[in-house]
Structure 1
């Protein structure tokens, strides 16, 4: 299998606070180098529906994603994030069947 992606759809009036929380979590996880972590995260704002956001989190495998989800620090992060959302989040769990690169370069940050 080519990997696993989890999409988290949520609404918030506090996107900057969620972004800062996520960056702190990422720095701590990378520094600890303990257990599986996401390969990549895309943080997206819905241009057509202000206040709606998506986190697209890529993992090497479903098993690594589930191991990550079961970690105490991940549960604590998720609870703090949900305190900053305007209602419950919706989770989509997707097996990656294929990827196509079209070339070009990506960008990090705004």
Structure 2
């Protein structure tokens, strides 16, 4: 079953953070193991974001986290966020399509 990483953060620098994410996508082409990503914004708190990143497995997620580009983006992200981003590593136990 799949593995999901949830990244929750707040920023007032969304455009700069988008540039950082775009650079990560470009520089990890062919090496990243993430299979799907949802970038979401809290409707009631516009500076609050949650990214949901799907991987085939925990091992693949950890391989992705080990990429130098991923470590670099985390540091850049921390610098652009208000407070510390929260990372959750979640095993998918059940998936339903409605």
Q: Same fold (TM over 0.5)?
A: yes
Larger radius of gyration: 1
Identify the residue that residue 81 of structure 1 maps to in structure 2. Answer: 77
Question: RMSD value over aligned CA atoms?
Answer: 1.2
Alpha-carbon separation, structure 2, partners of 1:23 and 1:40: 14
Q: How big is the shift at 1:46?
A: 0.5
- Residue deviations 1:21-75 (CA, integer Å, cap 9, x gap): 1111112211xx23x4210111110001221111111111001101111221110
Is there any run of 5+ residues in structure 2 with no aligned partner, and where? none
Runs of 4+ in 1 over 6 A off after TM superposition: none
Identify the residue that residue 25 of structure 2 maps to in structure 1. Answer: 26
What count of residue pairs does the alignment treat as equivalent? 98
Identify the residue that residue 58 of structure 2 maps to in structure 1. Answer: 62
Taking structure 1 as the reference length, what is the TM-score of the superposition?
0.83
Taking structure 2 as the reference length, what is the TM-score of the superposition?
0.92
